[in-house]
Structure 1
Amino acid sequence: MKTALLFSSRRNESSSYTDRQKDILEQFANENSLVTGDFREDIRVTTTFFSDADNAQTHKHIVKLINDPEREEQNHSKTSKFEAESDLNKSTRDYVDNESKTSNTADLSVSIAPRRYRRP
């Protein structure tokens, strides 16, 4: 019931959800037909939906977001930071891998001895 109440009040200005979280919850509500237009009916439909153990298990990330939005936001921030660093490392790696390993100017300034004078 608590989850249903929190979920149904997701649009309130006083809710503790960020805009990103509100968008996620709104999309989830629309995809699962949890929007009726009547607050009391929304609570009833949502309570029925989350009372089903299969739904609660399948959508546990949504249940966690509903019940602890601050923790979900912290986890999202950590994940985003890690992904940004990972992308930076990949970009750097790709850039380095695409560059030649030797300098072209060094190639021009170094003369190569003819084959017969090279050491074995």
Structure 2
Amino acid sequence: MQFVKSAGGVHLVALDGDDVVGWCDVTPQIYEGLTHAGRLGMGLLPEYRGQGWGTKLVTEALSIAFKAGFERIELEVFALNVGAIKLYRYFGFCEEGKKRKARKLDGMYDDIFLFGLLREEWVR
């Protein structure tokens, strides 16, 4: 895993040799009254899922973000992405809402779940 420096956020890449196989970032919110929060995003190549790479990425990203002063981390995840939902729940993220039929892909709808984690809930 490699930490990529940036202004105010956390950006990590997962490397297998010289190949980038995943990423995770926490981007600061910029709007007044929301700057205590960050938005988590991540992705892994399909063949690297279910092997602990996502757990390592999210662990490191959350640790850095909370140490840097973020008080809240939030994210959005597609309802059909059960693997990611399981991962986020493992870290203590709580479901805070749902956008119904938020995505329409190839004629199929999918909801988007909203999750949040507060610094005082982070126990890693």
TM-score, length basis structure 2: 0.24
Q: Higher Cα Rg: structure 1 or 2?
A: 1
TM-score, length basis structure 1: 0.24
Q: Which has the higher helix share?
A: 1
